[in-house]
Each structure stands twice: as C-alpha cells, then as structure tokens.
Structure 1
Amino acid sequence: MFSATAGRLLPGPYRSLFADRTFRRLMPVFALSDLGDGMTVVAVAWLAFVLGPDGGQGMLAGIAVAAYVLPGALGALVLGRWMRRLPARRLLVADSALRAVLLGAVPLAHLAGLLTPAVYVGLLGASSLLHAWGKAGKHALFAPLLPDDQRLAANSVLSTSLWSATIAGPALAGLLVGAVSPAWIIGLDAATFAVLALQTGRTTLPRAPAPPVSAGTQRGLGILRRQPELFGLLLATWVFNLAFGPVEVALPLFVSDDLNAGAGLLGAYWVAFGIGGVIGALALGAARRLPLWPAMLGIIAGHGIGMLPFALTDTALPSLIGFAFAGLVYGPYSALSFTLIQDRAPADSLTTVLAARSAVLLTASPLGAALGGFLLDRTGAPAVLVGCGALMILTVPTGIVVLKLHKGRRQRHQPSRIPAERARCAD
C-alpha cells in the first residue's frame, strides 16, 4: 500500500500519481526494462566490434544499431491493420514477449558458436518488429486511467526512468563487458523484457474504449498531418534523431581509438549523459513555462553545442562535460512531446497516432547510425561526433524560417475569411 510517509515526500502531482495502484504496480517493471535497454546502448555496438571483420567494425556497428530499431518502423506500417485492433496492454505484452525470445537467442547462439554477423543482425532486426506498437502501448496505457492534470507527471516519471537507466545501464554494462561477452548483457535485457511481459499480462486494467478498426481519417499519420503543430514537432524530432543516430556508433570508436580506453569509459560517457538527462527531466516544470517551439528548438541547439567538445581528443574531460550538458538540455524533450500528443490527438486513436509517430521516428536514428558507420570507415570518430552537433545546430535556423513562413501564410489567409463571413451575415 502507498504509505502516507512516502507520499508526503513527493511533490503534489507525483503523490496522487503514485497513489494509483496500476501505475505503482507497473512502474517498477518499466524501470527494469529501461535498465536492460540502457545496458544494450553499450552492448549492441560493442558486440558488433567483436564480431566485425578488420576494417569493417564501424560499418557492422552501424548496421547492428540500425537493425535494433529500424524494423519497428516497418512493423508499424505493415502490421497496422491487425495491431491497431489491440488494446494498449496487449500491444506492450506482444512486443515485450517477442523481444524476450529473440534477444534471448543472442547469448544462446554465442554459446553454441553460431553467432555470426548475419545471425546477430537478423536476431536484432526481428526483435524490433513490434517495438513501435510496444512503445505506443506503453505511453497509451495510462492515458485513459489518469486525469488530464496527471498526464504530464506520468510522462515525466517515464522519461526520468529512461534517463536513470541511461546512467545505470551503460555503467553496469561497462563493468560487465570486462568479465563476460556483450552477448550475455543482451541476454539480461531479454530477461527484463520477459518480466515486463509477464507483469503487464497479469495486471488487470479498466476497460478502455476499443480503438477504431477502419482505415479512415482517424489513422495516425492522417491525424498528424492535419495538425500543423504535431506535424512540425514530428519533423523536428525526426531530424534531431537523425543527427543523434551516428553517436551510438561513433562514441565507442572515439573511446577505443582516440582515447585508447575501454568499455568502462564508454559507460562513463553514457552515465554523464544520463545524469544530465535526469536533472533536465526533473526540471520539466521550468521548461513547460516556455513557449513550445522556442523550448523545443532551444533543446536541439543546446544538445548540438554539447557535442562540439568532441573535437578535443587529448583528454576525455571536455567531451564528458559536453555530453552531460547535451543530456541536461535534452531531458524534458520526450515528456513535453508525449504530453502534447496526448492532449491534441483523439483519445480513441491515441495508440494509432503514437505508433505512426514511432514508425516515422524509428527510421531516423537507424539511418543516422548506418550513415555514421559508413563515415567512420572513411573519417575519424571526432569528426562524426562534431558533425552531429553541427547538424543539430543548423536545424534550429531552418525551423525558425519554416515557422515564420507558416505564421505568415496563416496571417495572409486569415483576413480573406473575414469579408466572406461578413457577406454571409449580410445575406
């Protein structure tokens, strides 16, 4: 039972949130699964370096990171006819069970001596097939259960869990890589998904309205296109994710080749990034008082600035500080984005909208990772990392120009409606 003493220690919105029995029961397994995914930030790329041929490790790492994410976009598009019929809980269970089985096969194949690069990429790709729907189910699960004033708090807790896992997961993986193969770390991630599938499947949720089955105007991409604010946010986030994609591939090579260090320092980079992200996520109240677009564009620019110290390779300290700063400014981004979508999208189409959003965004980071792997075999990791930051910074003036053009177009069209309305009134 939620104790009164613990409740008094929480701020008001979080106190009522954790008083909800369903949220309190599921949040620990969400956090456990986030921890497993945090470990794979190090393990997926590091295992690719182990399996890759000489001179092609960067390319295989890019392909592996892309395979771990990209098929989710395909699953969102191809399987939508069947998946959008399912409630959020079943979507989450299906995705978690699939990932548990296929990621669990990675250490088994390693143990049997069958883990070739092709097998590895195939298992990663198949495991992500339902992930867009699983993420949609996770964020839609609580929407019908919580009042509107608790949604931002719930998204903030989910975001803080992800950032906390970004601290603990890579640090734990960095320690374990020195003792066991990265394949076994991926196996631990599979175990966390098994726990998530089991606990979510056992949890009884109040019956929510069934999602629409028809493929009419309520489909997710159509809803996003009809709402300029949501569509603009989707485009900005896509470019942001594209620019960040090469980081997961370039950072391990930066640590091993430019700094001559091991997986422990790689974990330290992600720990610094995660600590910054947790602080930023907890400071969400300050970010939400800002106008939406200045806040979003400021986050993207700040993240890009944090990547520039990777140009310095004599010591790890400047880039560690910069990466922590990048996490700090990025912290509120996810919670603000999901809250806006939950507020604007029709309630009975929320999982469809979130799955469509995930399908679009899931193409960005893998594309960036594959591009990063291609560039790494032709240039250095510092150049790729600094280039990521430069692309993020360049996104901001482009976004400002687009916003001004859109605003000017609305202002030009608005006066033309007034005489027509007056004419109708005169008639």
Structure 2
Amino acid sequence: MTLTSRLVPEAYRATLGVPAFRRLLSALVGSHLGDGMSVVAIAWLALRLAPPERAGLLIGAAVAAYTLPAAAGALLLARWLSRVPAHRLVIANAGLRAGALGAIVVLHLLGQLTAGRYIALLAGSSLLTAWGSAGTYTLISRMFPADRRLPANALVGTSQQAAFVVGPALAGLLVAGVHPAVVLGVDALTYLLLAVQASRLDLPAVTAAPDGDGRPTGTGIRLLLRRPELVGLVGVTAVFYFLYGPVEVALPLYVADELNSAARLLGAYWTVFGIGAVVGGLLGGTFTAARQWPVTIAVIAGWGLSLLPFGLSAPVWLTLCCFAVGGLVYGPFPAFSLALFQNAAEPADLPAVLAARSAVTTAAMPLGAALGGPLATALGAGGTLLGSGVATVGLAALTAGTLLIHARTRRPITARRRLGVEPR
C-alpha cells in the first residue's frame, strides 16, 4: 500500500479515480479561489470608486450585487433553463461571470469604469449563479451512483471553504501591489477555464419524463411543491441559513463593542471557522454509510450550541475554540444537504430543483443578516449570537421531532402493506 493510499480514504480515491470529475474539480477549485479573492477585491474596488461619504453604501451594494441576483435568476429564468443540459448551465454561468468581470477590467483600463457600471456588471455576472451550481451538482449526480455522491459533494464544498480561507489573504497581497480590478480579471480567467473544462465533459444525456400532455414537468418551484420531502428539505435549509444571517452582523459588533478588540481578532474568528469547515467537510465526505438526515440534524444542533458561549461572557480563547468547532460541525452540511436532493429528485428534474433551492437559500441569509441589525440594537451583539444559537438548536429539535412523528405514522401502513393488507 502506497503512502497516498494510506492517507487518502477509499471514498475519495474512488471519487478522484473518475477522469471527468477530476477535470471538473480542478476547474472548480480555480473558480472558487478566484471568488475567494474577489471577496476582498469587490469591496476594495467599490471603495476606490465611491465618494468618501457614500463608501459604505456602495460597498454594501457591490457585495449584494455579486450574490442576490442569483435568487432572481433562479426564479425568473426557470421557464427557459429548467431543461437545459447540466454542462451547458455550468458553461453559461461561467461564461457570463468571465464576460462581466472581464468587462469591469476593460472599462477600468479605458478609464470608463463608474460606480453605476460597476454595480450593473456585478449584478449581471451573478444572474446565473444558482443555475451554474445546480448544473455542477447535477453533473456529479450523473457521474456517480447514490452512495458515491457524498464524497464528490464534499470535495467540491471543501474546496470552496478552503478558497475563502486562502483567497482573501492572497487578494490582500495582490491588491497591495496591483489595482483591485486586476484581481477581478484573475477571477474572470478562472471562470473561463471552468467553461472550457465543462465543455469537454462527455456524459450521456438525460431525457425528461413528460407529463401526460407531453410537456416538461414544470419549473423548480412547482416540482418542489409536488414533493413534500423536498419542500421540507428546502424549508429546513432556508431557516438554518436565515438563523445564521444575524451572526455575520453580530460577530463584528461583538469583537468591536464587547471585546474592544481590532479587526485582526474578527479575522481570527473567521479563519478558525474556515479551517474547521474544511476539516469537517472532508471528514463528512467519508461517512458514506451514514444516514444523511440524522447527520444534518446533528450539524444544525452542533452549530447552534457553538454560539451559546458568546452570550454567556465566555473568555476569548473559549469562543475561538467554539467557533472552530462550529466550523467543524458545519463543514459536512452542504454536502449532506445536496446529497439528499440528488437522491430524492428525478435526474431530469434535478437542475430545476437545485436552482429553486438556491433561490430560497440565497435569499434567506441576507434576510437574516438584515434582521441582525435591529436584534443587535435590542439585545446586544452577545445576546444576538446567543439568540441565534438557541433558535438554531430549537430548529434541530423541531426537525428531529417532525421526522420521528412522520416515521411512526408511516410504519403501521408499511407493515400492513408487507402483509398484503391495504389501509382503508
């Protein structure tokens, strides 16, 4: 047995043994790193473009423009994109990102980049993000059987988490020497590479199962409404992200107001969270035999518990440790949650279903963050973090109780059907 085979779990070795997935993953790692760098570059370029008295407003608009239009695109474009092949969705999103970000660089070089054009191009670049993500995970579902999708999801998800640990630091070094628009140009090149790699994938087509009148089965929202189990998945995920939203507002206030500390400590909190999320995501991808719903509930509860010390006047070292543990338990959540969708939805319906999921979850986090401001004013930063943790633990308990009741009500019916007795 080689050193590599001892260090890399069998689940990952088998996943990485698929050439098409290796090509896709390598391109995704590059685009994730580019996005991690853009976290710094987008805000810094907005700061360069804005008048001093409007800097905060433009930075907020730029950050929102790079994410929120994805939710609108998932809903408004469903009629036309629901049945587009998965690899074409990836190509379309990557091409749009590359084109829009590249246009920002060109306008900067020509001296024609204004704040309005900047926000418009950022918004346009994110319009197909939900569809690109849906296409990616649909491709994974077609590359692997159900019991091997979780490791593939974990590799994609942890590459994204790792990029948001490494990317901002790398962007900080680059921005010190070059204009932030150049960093966005690097991001554009990574998306161009992703489009090229996606176009090289050779996978069999999946034909849609038509309704009785020969038309497609519907948009993602309609498909979700026809599947109660998928509606439940979306609901739990959206509430979880909504309850997380106030953390992004309260944590900086907690560091500044309650700890009277500098931004360096805030960076330390997010760094330990990111490292924990990478480790947790990779570990979670090896649990291929685990029941995914129980793991998902445990993750939600664990994240909520990790927030409780912030509201109990715990020392800094303890809250840092808890935030790292929070990242560790959160790490498997994206991969497990997506695997539940991949295994529950019909293959032809999966892009539309995943795009609809993204539309709901993408909007949930900013809505939670918007609530974080008034909550922090009323409860204080520590109280807001404590409240978010308590509510998240409550969500885990409610989900577990609902599933337990559902299982108990279905068991007698299932048993009677096995005996050949249909319920009346």
Question: Using a 3 Å threshold, how does the CA distance of structure 1 residues 177 and 301 change in structure 2: closer, same or farther?
Answer: farther
Alignment-derived partner of residue 393 in structure 2? 396
Query: Which residues of 2 match residues 5-404 of structure 1 at below 5 A?
Result: 6=4, 9-49=7-47, 51=49, 57-201=55-199, 203-211=200-208, 217=217, 219-245=219-245, 261=262, 268-284=268-284, 292-307=292-307, 320-370=320-370, 379=377, 383=380, 387=384, 390-401=387-398, 404=401
Report the Cα offset of residue 390 of structure 1: 2.6
Question: Using a 3 Å threshold, how does the CA distance of structure 1 residues 417 and 89 change in structure 2: closer, same or farther?
Answer: closer
Stretch moving more, 205-214 or 230-239:
205-214
Matched residue of 1:144: which SS?
Answer: helix
Stretch moving more, 126-135 or 19-28:
19-28
Matched residue of 1:283: which SS?
Answer: helix
Equivalent-residue separation in structure 2 for 1:5 and 1:36 (angstroms): 31
Are the equivalent residues in 2 in contact too, given 1:63–1:369 (CA < 8 A)? no
Q: One-letter code of the match for 1:334?
A: P
Question: Using a 3 Å threshold, how does the CA distance of structure 1 residues 32 and 344 change in structure 2: closer, same or farther?
Answer: same
Question: Using a 3 Å threshold, how does the CA distance of structure 1 residues 328 and 313 change in structure 2: closer, same or farther?
Answer: same
Report the Cα offset of residue 251 of structure 1: 6.2
Q: Describe the superposition over 1:55-74 as per-residue Cα deviations: whole angstroms up to 9, x where unpaired.
A: 76555444333221121121
Are the equivalent residues in 1 in contact too, given 2:250–2:385 (CA < 8 A)? no
Report the Cα offset of residue 128 of structure 1: 0.7
Report the Cα offset of residue 394 of structure 1: 0.4
Q: Describe the superposition over 1:293-343 as per-residue Cα deviations: whole angstroms up to 9, x where unpaired.
A: 443233234334444666799997565444323211110001111111111
Equivalent-residue separation in structure 1 for 2:23 and 2:270 (angstroms): 28
Matched residue of 2:141: which SS?
Answer: coil
Report the Cα offset of residue 204 of structure 1: 3.5
Report the Cα offset of residue 183 of structure 1: 3.5
Report the Cα offset of residue 92 of structure 1: 0.2
Q: One-letter code of the match for 2:229?
A: E
Equivalent-residue separation in structure 2 for 1:83 and 1:260 (angstroms): 48
Matched residue of 1:197: which SS?
Answer: helix
Are the equivalent residues in 1 in contact too, given 2:82–2:219 (CA < 8 A)? no
Are the equivalent residues in 2 in contact too, given 1:302–1:329 (CA < 8 A)? yes
Are the equivalent residues in 1 in contact too, given 2:97–2:125 (CA < 8 A)? yes
Matched residue of 2:202: which SS?
Answer: coil
Matched residue of 2:242: which SS?
Answer: helix
Report the Cα offset of residue 241 of structure 1: 2.0
Matched residue of 1:191: which SS?
Answer: helix
Equivalenced residue count is 420
Question: Using a 3 Å threshold, how does the CA distance of structure 1 residues 328 and 53 change in structure 2: closer, same or farther?
Answer: farther
Report the Cα offset of residue 150 of structure 1: 1.8
Matched residue of 1:170: which SS?
Answer: helix
Equivalent-residue separation in structure 2 for 1:66 and 1:54 (angstroms): 19
Question: Using a 3 Å threshold, how does the CA distance of structure 1 residues 84 and 46 change in structure 2: closer, same or farther?
Answer: same
Q: Percent identity?
A: 44
Stretch moving more, 228-237 or 292-301:
292-301
Report the Cα offset of residue 91 of structure 1: 0.6
Unmatched tracts of structure 2, length 5 or more: none
Are the equivalent residues in 1 in contact too, given 2:272–2:320 (CA < 8 A)? yes
TM-score (norm 1): 0.81
Are the equivalent residues in 1 in contact too, given 2:220–2:352 (CA < 8 A)? yes
Report the Cα offset of residue 102 of structure 1: 1.0
Report the Cα offset of residue 171 of structure 1: 2.2
Matched residue of 1:209: which SS?
Answer: coil
Are the equivalent residues in 2 in contact too, given 1:166–1:274 (CA < 8 A)? yes
Unmatched tracts of structure 1, length 5 or more: none
Equivalent-residue separation in structure 1 for 2:32 and 2:90 (angstroms): 14
Stretch moving more, 40-49 or 284-293:
284-293
TM-score (norm 2): 0.81
Matched residue of 2:142: which SS?
Answer: coil
Equivalent-residue separation in structure 1 for 2:171 and 2:313 (angstroms): 24
Equivalent-residue separation in structure 2 for 1:421 and 1:314 (angstroms): 55
Q: One-letter code of the match for 1:104?
A: G
Report the Cα offset of residue 31 of structure 1: 0.7
